[in-house]
Amino acid sequence: MSEGTVAFQRTPCPDCNGTGELRIESENINENFEVEKQTVITTCPACQGLGFQVPGKSGASG
């Protein structure tokens, strides 16, 4: 695969490092009182799972 023709340069999303996914490690305690680590993968809200910063919305606090 070669991605050569890119109209504009995409800035990788700093939140998910360009993966478009966020990994949240959560600890869950089972019935044996053992800590089970669970990795939850969710869509990065910053880039909507695209992996790069979306250049459209540019607003202050809102």
Site residues for Zn ion per CB under 5 A = 13, 15-16, 44, 46-47
Kindly tell me which of 4 and 55 has the beta carbon lying closer to Zn ion. 55
Minimum CB separation of residue 41 from Zn ion in Å reads: 12
Radius of gyration, alpha carbons of the chain: 17
* 28 residue type, one letter: N
Minimum CB separation of residue 10 from Zn ion in Å reads: 12
Kindly tell me which of 10 and 15 has the beta carbon lying closer to Zn ion. 15
CA dihedral defined by 14, 15, 21, 26, rounded to 10 degrees? 150
